[in-house]
Structure 1
């Protein structure tokens, strides 16, 4: 294949989920519905936390940040997919593809850190309840968010700068509905050894440390709960962790599924479906998981919804 430098402004082609024109309207309606549900659901979570002073706690502060991240991640991927379906044009400019891959990686990285922070918050609340307010003070919580945001900005920026040094071939098809930095590296004709080393190192550090933190936190929580003499106390402790655990399994479970699919799948459709399960479905279901499993959120949410007709 003939190499082509990025200065020639190559175009990438997002293969999406299906080439059948008859299925495109169905996918458009499906993705549009999922996008609206994701935006409205997470926005409602944020408004619920802001509107009630009883929810101004570290747990709900982190939850509102998670909802905001879900909104941003969905906005980064789904609208472009809808534009491609509507215009019947799968091409994406080099600058547009690189920009989208940056923001996708940034928000995925931020969500990864937020889930680890929320696990640590539950660990302190259950295992060290007397020190909870002292440990999880507003200054410390703010620093955790700022540190996560800093890493989530710098890490994707480094990957994007390393992609700029690559040259690309003429076959620039991406088997997803959005641009991904890993897929961009696979399409390069030049040497990608440094890029791959950077990907593996960053994934091991910025992915492995939060996952290990979540496992450590819930291991400590499990042993602490099992030592509780009261059945009611055990139920209350598990119920406070249930929503977060559901989101953790959904996020990392679908992410692991994407990795397995990209390794074993022989078709671009399977890879694209796996990417949807990772970047769309968890963000859409998060508000339902927290609003349905959390008694405090459910009560405030009902009050907020009941006040909407009077404001119209």
Structure 2
């Protein structure tokens, strides 16, 4: 067994996120393009302690006793049906918690890759998806990325249907973190109230998403249901979007249920110039 393994857990961006009205079972289906970006947590895994135990530490905040890492460990153990080595997992966070960038889900998928390497176990796609189903909806996307952890896909259902598409590598993002934390529950509650009020949004058709993604960024018409409802409660979201537009972004939106706001620029130089302009007003902003 390897003594230690270190893996990257990349963030994801939602390019459009249509949240459908609540189903009878209380869940919501989505339609979205997920894409990884060059912004990642670092996961360090080393054997330590008693068998069948997994301890997790994070450099920025204390995690709950049950988290995406321990859930993944337990799901893996259940699947292979054998004792596992005790593990200590250290997370060096870069992806903000509650930012709509899939940090916890990506951490889980990266840890699962490390766990397979440490235990010399190969899982097929069905087994990876089974573990994802026990951990969280966004984990489906990350376990379907390539071996480097990169990928893009059209994601539907509750997140369990992942249709891979070619990831664009010519996109230049600037991320702004407004400092607002909206829980997933709050975000979906706001969406439910939005639909109950009779309001509607004009979304592109699911069949058109990939074509829009591969077209000119300045002509993108993706829509994120969460942006309207979250920005309605937290005006700083709209302020961040407007700041990016004024700085030359070709397209702007909020990722996922927020609160990270991103802008796409024509060149890396344009993104860097915008970052230098905005960094005085926004405490945290990154070019990726």
TM-score band (shorter)?
A: under 0.3
Larger radius of gyration: 1
Higher helix share: 1
> Higher RCO, 1 or 2 (CA under 8 Å, sep at least 6)?
1
**TM-score between both structures, scaled by the size of structure 1:** 0.24
**TM-score between both structures, scaled by the size of structure 2:** 0.26
